[in-house]
Amino acid sequence: MSELTLSVIVPAYNEEGTVEQIVQRLRELPLRLEVIAVNDASADGTGAVLDRLAASGALQRVIHHPVNRGKGAALRSGIAAATGDVVVVQDADLEYDPGDLPRLLAPIRDGKADAVYGSRFQGGPHRVLFFWHSVGNRLLTLVSNMFTNLNLTDMETCYKLVRRDLLQRLPLTSDRFGFEVEITARLSQSGARIWELPITYSGRTYAEGKKITWRDGLAALWHIVRYNVVRPGGDWRHR
């Protein structure tokens, strides 16, 4: 198969201190890339940094939300603008290592998968942090698996590589952190072939800017039920 173009969606909300570094690390990859950043109405200098990176050619496109709409809304804006063969989300906070992306792309490139999840819980190198965060992530994955009948180890991972032609057909509606639950439910319902590979993970503390709280975990439980029980109609299930 010929070389694939990977569209990388970088959602950014008040990530002035890290977003340039993550874009630079993406540009070091031995991949054909399209990098699209979505500034979700940041209150700091994130927007100005992204505009400068776009002017230099490091970014192919910057989308500015005039008001803060949430991570899911930012991702939907980026997905709609993507033109590559495969799409992945790259958070701007340095928790995920772009160096894992070439390896994660391989099952799709080889025609074995429609989507690849990068799992933080399959033994890859990781920073030791919060016990209860780990428990919460595993619980959410377990409950999601019960509805989808998948055997994922990390449903909430940011690294989900998905064929663009499939992803842009999925009826995604989530505006906040329910996006991970929703895309997993829709991929399962579409009959997508999903692979999972271990990744490196360097989680942030709250002092370093981590935004997820226990309230988002409770909301995710509701979203698991919501998105797995409510199944939109249409022909999006056909690959």
pLDDT at 220: 81
Give residue 44's region: left, alpha or beta (phi > 0; psi -120 to 50): beta
Domains in the chain, ordered, with CATH? 5-229 (3.90.550.10)
Distance CA 148, CA 16 (A): 37
pLDDT of residue 12: 96
The residue ranges of the chain whose pLDDT is under 50 are 1, 204-209
Say what the pTM is. Answer: 0.89
Nearest by Cα to 152 from 160, 144, 163, 164:
144
The predicted structure's pLDDT at residue 206: 44
Residue 28: how many other CB atoms lie within 10 Å? 9
Report the pLDDT value the prediction gives residue 135, as an integer from 0 to 100.
79
Which residues have a Cβ under 8 Å from the Cβ of 225 and sit 6 or more positions away? 147
